[in-house]
């Protein structure tokens, strides 16, 4: 199976939520696209487990961070499209900020900070 | 939010499933695009996705509310398990339905009569003014009292007087004269009750004064029925007693009064009157912030003022007070309703004991089921929860059914027997299903579910795991403990049922005693009817005497009529009371304080009612205005005031101290007649005086004509109902077109006077019978179960040669021990409880030996029957089958 990939599910739960929100900044997308975009953008370092993806999407929707709507995809298939809500956008900014903070903190501890 | 997620999860799950299958399709597309074969593309996509079911479950679980899910699961399980034993479930539900049904029925009456506020704005502030004295309080007022009360503006916002429309009025001026209830009211009446006037206005103060003109306010129903809802009715003259009256307003349909009125007239009494007769009542609205206590304190002072100014008897310690209007309307109904409520709670307790017993029996059969569940990891709490869910499912179903049973049953009962209970409306129409009743029934269902479910649940959850699973059969019960509980429940049931049946027995005896009371007159074949003579025409005694003569002459000529009489009053319908003095005796010791009944009647009265003349004579046509005044008295009066002397030698002075209109010369006592029951059958006859109508002072007649109708009494040769038409027609002809109302036979009036007792008795019989039936089912169930449990033992005994009869006796002995124990406890309880019934009883004591002997006998017999069947079954057991029943 090649080099060991980190499954998104292995990372903190909040991370997958953040990645989904980030993916949707560029526009609405359905679950399959979201998974592909995350995988491709991470140069296949992160493989999104479908089993985690859908619970995450529904959870985000229940928290009103996402909205969904059934629509037709590029290849003429019926699919459920997710879109960021204004609240989702705010949340993305907040969690990204926290994430950056954390990376910096961890980097400091590891002594790899390059200010 | 959480709950919303929970509610919509089924739809969302379907959504998710579809979404995931779309995802798989995309993946397949991508795989195909990479050049894979369709089959492989599908396989790879599946493989990559993992198990969609797991994902769905994960989302589902996140959307669920654990305890709600648990309940739903328990409920499904419970319904399955109850459906498995339909016989048990149906009996349990029916028993609960009866228990809850009777409670709902009685509560709905209590709700209507006692709990619902009166339908006026701010009803708590409405009070009834009372005359209070050492012998209790009574409502009623005369003009001086009304004047004093009306001045108490520091405590009352409004004060209004009204009469009871007793005389009735005749709506004339059409083809069909009609008698209506016209209530005289003072000008504050409508404002005080917040009456909604849909057209026009109420009376002004000027209209409510002597010579204030003839004005009238119509009720909604009269406006609709008699005047076709004419919107231009205000200002239209209508004819009342052949006089033109002007309609000034119409009140809305929602305005309900006690008494019910068809129309209202201004009272118009002379404010300077010193008339001491109490012929109306007074209600008031308290100023906001004033309590009943404060009002009473103020009224205490006014009573002193009244005595100073009008010389009421200070010795009588008469005072004034107020009670809430609702209280005054409810009267003593409260007590009998509470008694009935107590009785139905007994029925419910019996039902609970019964179902608890059934559940215990069932639980012992299901012991292995619980043990298995426990072995599979179910905790005690879970088993208790499941069993409580089970009992709640039963009680709620039973409650729902009980709501229907109780409500429909009550409607039927109220239709059959209107017991003269205030506020119930025509045929109980005011009893409606409302939120109170629904909450009550729901509450009582939950409570009973817990009550009868808890003991079996706890008892079942205590099961010893290993012992049970090792036991070879389902034969063993829940052990000694549960057996004792079950026996205890049966004893309780028997005891409660016995108390109920004794209570019913006492009321039955009361009713029979009432039926057996000799009313002092012959009730059969007497027709009675009321005629309003309220117009100006009948202000003079001579005129009233004249229409009585004309009427009775005309009636006596009719075929089928034996005799006819008329007067102010009828036996059982009751009359007035006035004080009297015996001429020549010193005041004091022999002066009447309560007064004597005071009847003005035609001479035929005693013949029509067949009231025996004990001494002297009855009055005749010759006892007229020109001849010396005479009076007749009843036996009670003769015995009470002339224990040794001869009343026929004495003369009476009546109405002393009651004001100028009652002043009259002394009357010679000319005859003594037998007593009649005039208040009610359960009241002892009071001293009574009879006067010839022609010899009444005119002023009294004018007052009488105004406040009470003239009653006609006709003795018929056959069934009174046959001659109603000819009699009413003859009376209309004889009186110049006056209609009659309240056409009733005397038998019907007797029936009415005992309606309340009959209603109470009927209810208690129903409660007692259902309690007894349930107790019998309880005993039967316990014994049948015990026989079934001991099949093997009995088989062995029979195999060893035991006689069938001795086995039967063993079962009977066992059952009867419990039943008799219950009877003994019940008798003790009944001795303690039946004294609460005392005020509802007549002619029997609360410890009536007949009821206390007959009831235990009845209960024992019923129990014996219930035990005999299982005892028979015991000996039908085939020893071989029994031994193999392992």
CA distance B64 to chain A (A): 13
Residue among B5, B23, B52 minimizing CB distance to A62: B5
Residue B25: closest C-alpha in chain A: A77
Residue among B1, B26, B55 minimizing CB distance to A54: B55
Average pLDDT over residues B623-633: 92
What local confidence, expressed as pLDDT, does residue B47 receive?
84
Instruction: Examine the pLDDT at B834 and tell me if it is beyond 50.
Output: yes
Q: Contacts of residue B28 in chain A, CB cutoff 8 Å?
A: none
On the 0-12 / 13-18 / 19+ scale of CB atoms within 10 A, B135 is exposed
Angle, CA of B338, B341 and B342, to the nearest 5°: 90
Which residues 6+ apart lie within 8 Å of B641 measured at CB? B582, B590, B592, B647, B687
Pairwise CA distance, residues B555 & B489, whole Å: 67
Q: Contacts of residue B27 in chain A, CB cutoff 8 Å?
A: 32
CA distance A114 to chain B (A): 39
What local confidence, expressed as pLDDT, does residue B363 receive?
79
**Pick among B32, B55, B56, B64 to test the A interface (most A CBs inside 10 A):** B55
Average pLDDT over residues B40-46: 87
Residue among A32, A49, A58 minimizing CB distance to B27: A32
Average pLDDT over residues A12-28: 85
SS3 content of chain A, % helix, strand, coil (to 5): 55, 15, 25
CA distance B68 to chain A (A): 20
Q: Contacts of residue A59 in chain B, CB cutoff 8 Å?
A: 62
- A4 pLDDT band (50/70/90 cuts)? very low
Instruction: Examine the pLDDT at B588 and tell me if it is beyond 60.
Output: no
pLDDT tens for each residue of B513-533: 888 888 889 999 999 999 988
Instruction: Examine the pLDDT at A115 and tell me if it is beyond 50.
Output: no
Average pLDDT over residues B657-672: 82
- A9 pLDDT band (50/70/90 cuts)? very low
Q: Does B55 sit within 8 Å of A32, measured CB to CB?
A: no
Cα distances (Å, whole numbers) of residue B838 to B68, B335, B435? 51, 11, 34
CA distance A56 to chain B (A): 9
- B135 pLDDT band (50/70/90 cuts)? low
* DSSP code for B115: I
Instruction: Examine the pLDDT at A3 and tell me if it is beyond 50.
Output: no
Residue A60: closest C-alpha in chain B: B59
Instruction: Examine the pLDDT at B780 and tell me if it is beyond 60.
Output: yes
Q: Does B22 sit within 8 Å of A30, measured CB to CB?
A: yes
Q: Does A30 sit within 8 Å of B58, measured CB to CB?
A: no
Helix axes B479-516, B333-365, angle to 10 degrees: 150
pLDDT tens for each residue of B331-341: 878 888 888 89
Give the B-side interface with A, CB within 8 Å: 1, 5, 12, 15-16, 18-20, 22-23, 25-27, 29, 48-52, 54-55, 58-59, 62
Residue among A31, A51, A79 minimizing CB distance to B54: A51
Residues in a beta bridge with B597 = B577, B688
Pairwise CA distance, residues B140 & B277, whole Å: 9
* DSSP code for B693: G
Pairwise CA distance, residues A38 & A46, whole Å: 7
- B282 pLDDT band (50/70/90 cuts)? very high
Instruction: Examine the pLDDT at B418 and tell me if it is beyond 60.
Output: no
User: Which of B363-377, B574-588, B777-791 has the highest average model confidence (pLDDT)?
Assistant: B777-791
pLDDT tens for each residue of B382-410: 788 888 888 899 999 999 999 999 888 88
Instruction: Examine the pLDDT at B312 and tell me if it is beyond 60.
Output: no
Average pLDDT in chain B: 85
**Pick among B3, B5, B13, B19 to test the A interface (most A CBs inside 10 A):** B19
Q: Does A79 sit within 8 Å of B19, measured CB to CB?
A: yes
Residue among B20, B22, B50 minimizing CB distance to A78: B22
Q: Does A62 sit within 8 Å of B1, measured CB to CB?
A: yes
The torsion defined by the Cα of B830, B836, B840 and B843, in degrees rounded to 10, comes to 60
* DSSP code for A114: -
Residue among A51, A78, A79 minimizing CB distance to B55: A51
A11-20, B352-361, B875-884: segment of lowest average pLDDT: B875-884
What local confidence, expressed as pLDDT, does residue B725 receive?
92
**Pick among A16, A62, A70 to test the B interface (most B CBs inside 10 A):** A62
Half-sphere exposure of residue B699, counting CA atoms within 13 Å on the CB side? 11
User: B576-578 and B596-601: which strand pairing?
Assistant: antiparallel
Say yes or no: A32 contacts chain B, CB-CB below 8 A: yes
Say yes or no: A90 contacts chain B, CB-CB below 8 A: no
Q: Contacts of residue A79 in chain B, CB cutoff 8 Å?
A: 19, 22, 26
Helix axes B333-365, B435-461, angle to 10 degrees: 30
% of chain B exceeding 90 in pLDDT: 29
Which residue pairs from B371-378 have beta carbons closer than 8 angstroms and sit at least 24 positions apart in sequence? Answer: B371/B463, B371/B465, B371/B468, B371/B469, B372/B469, B374/B463, B374/B465, B375/B465, B375/B469
ipTM at complex level: 0.82
Instruction: Examine the pLDDT at A77 and tell me if it is beyond 50.
Output: yes
CA distance A31 to chain B (A): 7
Q: Contacts of residue B65 in chain A, CB cutoff 8 Å?
A: none
Say yes or no: A41 contacts chain B, CB-CB below 8 A: no
Say yes or no: A75 contacts chain B, CB-CB below 8 A: yes
Pairwise CA distance, residues A8 & A23, whole Å: 14
Residue among B23, B29, B50 minimizing CB distance to A49: B50
Contact B267, B279 (CB under 8 A): no
pLDDT tens for each residue of B449-480: 998 888 888 877 776 655 665 654 444 444 55
Q: Contacts of residue A55 in chain B, CB cutoff 8 Å?
A: 55, 58-59, 62
Q: Contacts of residue A77 in chain B, CB cutoff 8 Å?
A: 22, 25-26, 29
Pairwise CA distance, residues B265 & B185, whole Å: 6
């027709």: which residue's tokens?
B527
Average pLDDT over residues B758-782: 87
Q: Does B55 sit within 8 Å of A50, measured CB to CB?
A: yes
The DSSP H or E segment spanning B797 is helix B791-799
What local confidence, expressed as pLDDT, does residue B498 receive?
93
Residue B53: closest C-alpha in chain A: A51
User: Which of B317-326, B589-598, B730-739 has the highest average model confidence (pLDDT)?
Assistant: B730-739
Nearest to B780 by CA among B328, B291, B361: B361
Residue A49: closest C-alpha in chain B: B49
What local confidence, expressed as pLDDT, does residue B468 receive?
61
Q: Contacts of residue B20 in chain A, CB cutoff 8 Å?
A: 31, 50, 54
Average pLDDT over residues B620-626: 89
CA distance B466 to chain A (A): 43
- B315 pLDDT band (50/70/90 cuts)? very low
Q: Contacts of residue B51 in chain A, CB cutoff 8 Å?
A: 51
Pairwise CA distance, residues B116 & B423, whole Å: 10
């Amino acid at each position: 199976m090649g080099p060991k990939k980190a499954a998104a599910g292995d990372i903190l739960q909040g991370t997958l939520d953040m990645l989904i929100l980030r993916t949707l900044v560029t526009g609405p997308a359905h679950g399959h696209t979201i998974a592909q975009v995350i995988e491709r953008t991470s140069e296949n370092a992160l493989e999104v487990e479908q089993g985690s993806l859908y619970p995450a999407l529904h959870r985000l929707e229940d928290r009103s961070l996402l909205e969904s709507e059934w629509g037709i995809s590029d290849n003429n298939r019926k699919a459920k499209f997710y879109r960021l809500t204004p609240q989702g956008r705010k949340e993305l900014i907040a969690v990204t900020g926290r994430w950056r903070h954390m990376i910096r903190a961890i980097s400091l501890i590891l002594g790899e900070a390059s200010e | 939010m959480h709950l919303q997620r929970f509610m919509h999860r089924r739809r969302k799950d379907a959504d998710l499933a579809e979404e995931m299958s779309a995802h798989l399709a995309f993946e397949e597309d991508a795989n195909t695009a990479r050049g894979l074969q369709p089959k492989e593309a599908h396989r790879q996509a599946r493989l990559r996705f993992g198990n969609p079911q797991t994902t769905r479950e994960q989302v589902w679980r996140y959307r669920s509310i654990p305890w709600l899910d648990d309940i739903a699961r328990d409920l499904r399980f419970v319904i399955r398990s109850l459906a498995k034993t339909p016989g048990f479930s149906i009996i349990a539900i029916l028993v609960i339905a009866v228990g809850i049904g009777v409670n709902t029925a009685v509560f709905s009456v209590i709700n209507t009569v006692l709990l619902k506020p009166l339908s006026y704005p701010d009803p708590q502030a409405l009070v009834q003014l009372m005359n209070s004295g050492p012998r209790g309080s009574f409502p009623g007022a005369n003009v001086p009292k009304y004047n004093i009360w009306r001045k108490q503006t520091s405590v009352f916002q409004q004060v209004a007087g009204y009469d009871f429309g007793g005389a009735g009025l005749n709506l004339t001026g059409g083809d069909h004269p009609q008698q209506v209830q016209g209530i005289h009211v003072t000008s504050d009446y409508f404002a005080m009750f917040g009456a909604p006037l849909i057209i026009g206005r109420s009376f002004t103060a000027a209209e409510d004064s002597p010579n204030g003109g003839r004005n009238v306010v119509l009720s909604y129903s009269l406006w609709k029925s008699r005047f076709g809802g004419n919107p231009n009715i205000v200002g239209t003259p209508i004819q009342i007693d052949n006089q033109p009256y002007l309609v000034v307003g119409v009140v809305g349909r929602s305005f309900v009064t006690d008494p019910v009125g068809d129309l209202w007239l201004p009272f118009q009494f002379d404010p300077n009157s010193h008339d001491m007769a109490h012929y109306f009542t007074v209600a008031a609205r308290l100023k906001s912030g004033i309590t009943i206590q404060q009002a009473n304190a103020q009224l205490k002072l006014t009573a002193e003022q009244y005595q100073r100014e009008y010389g009421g008897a200070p010795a009588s310690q008469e005072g004034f007070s107020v009670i809430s209007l609702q209280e005054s309307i409810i009267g003593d109904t409260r007590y009998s309703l509470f008694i009935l409520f107590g009785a139905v709670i007994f029925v419910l307790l019996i039902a609970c004991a019964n179902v608890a017993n059934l559940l215990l029996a069932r639980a012992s059969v299901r012991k292995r089921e619980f043990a298995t569940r426990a072995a599979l990891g179910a905790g005690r709490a879970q088993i208790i929860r499941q069993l409580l869910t089970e009992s709640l499912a039963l009680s709620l179903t039973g409650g729902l059914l009980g709501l229907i049973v109780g409500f429909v049953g009550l409607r039927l009962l109220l239709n059959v027997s209107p017991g003269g209970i205030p506020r119930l409306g025509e045929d109980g129409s005011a009893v409606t299903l409302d939120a109170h009743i629904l909450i009550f029934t729901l509450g009582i269902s939950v409570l009973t579910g817990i009550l009868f479910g808890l003991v079996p649940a706890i008892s079942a959850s205590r099961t010893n795991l290993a012992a049970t699973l090792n036991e070879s059969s389902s034969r063993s019960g829940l052990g000694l403990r549960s057996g004792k509980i079950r026996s205890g429940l049966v004893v309780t049931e028997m005891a409660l049922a016995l108390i109920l049946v004794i209570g019913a027995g006492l009321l039955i005896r009361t009713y029979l005693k009432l039926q057996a009371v000799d009313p002092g007159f012959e009730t059969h074949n007497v027709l009675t009817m009321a005629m309003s003579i309220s117009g100006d025409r009948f202000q003079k005694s001579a005129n009233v005497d004249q229409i009585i003569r004309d009427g009775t002459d005309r009636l006596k000529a009719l075929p089928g009529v034996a005799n006819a009489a008329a007067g102010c009053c009828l036996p059982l319908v009751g009359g007035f009371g006035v004080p009297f003095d015996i001429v020549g005796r010193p005041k004091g010791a022999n002066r009447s304080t309560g007064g004597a009944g005071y009847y003005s009647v035609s001479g035929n009265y005693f013949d029509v009612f067949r009231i025996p003349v004990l001494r002297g004579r009855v009055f005749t046509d010759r006892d007229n205005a020109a001849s010396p005044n005479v009076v007749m008295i009843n036996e009670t009066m003769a015995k009470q005031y002339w224990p040794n002397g001869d009343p026929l030698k004495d003369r009476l002075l009546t109405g002393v101290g009651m004001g100028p209109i009652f002043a009259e010369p002394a009357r010679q006592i000319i005859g003594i007649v037998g007593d009649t029951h005039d208040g009610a059958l359960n009241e002892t006859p009071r001293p009574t005086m009879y006067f010839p109508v022609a010899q009444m002072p005119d002023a009294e007649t004018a007052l009488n004509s105004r406040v009470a109708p003239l009653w006609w009494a006709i003795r018929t040769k056959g069934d009174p109902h046959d001659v109603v038409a000819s009699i009413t027609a003859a009376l209309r002809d004889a009186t110049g077109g006056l209609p009659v109302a309240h056409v009733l036979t005397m038998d019907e009036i007797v029936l009415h006077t005992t309606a309340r007792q009959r209603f109470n008795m009927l209810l208690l019989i129903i409660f007692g019978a259902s309690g007894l039936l349930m107790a019998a089912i309880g005993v039967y169930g316990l014994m049948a179960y015990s026989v079934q449990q001991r099949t093997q033992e009995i088989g062995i005994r029979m195999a060893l040669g035991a006689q069938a009869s001795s086995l039967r006796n063993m079962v009977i002995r066992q059952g009867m021990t419990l039943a008799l124990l219950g009877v003994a406890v019940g008798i003790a309880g009944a001795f303690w409880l039946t004294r609460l019934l005392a005020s509802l009883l007549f002619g029997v004591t609360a410890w009536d030996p007949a009821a206390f002997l007959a009831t235990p006998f009845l209960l024992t017999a019923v129990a014996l029957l219930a035990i005999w069947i299982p005892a028979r079954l015991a000996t039908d057991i085939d020893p071989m089958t029994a031994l193999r029943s392992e």
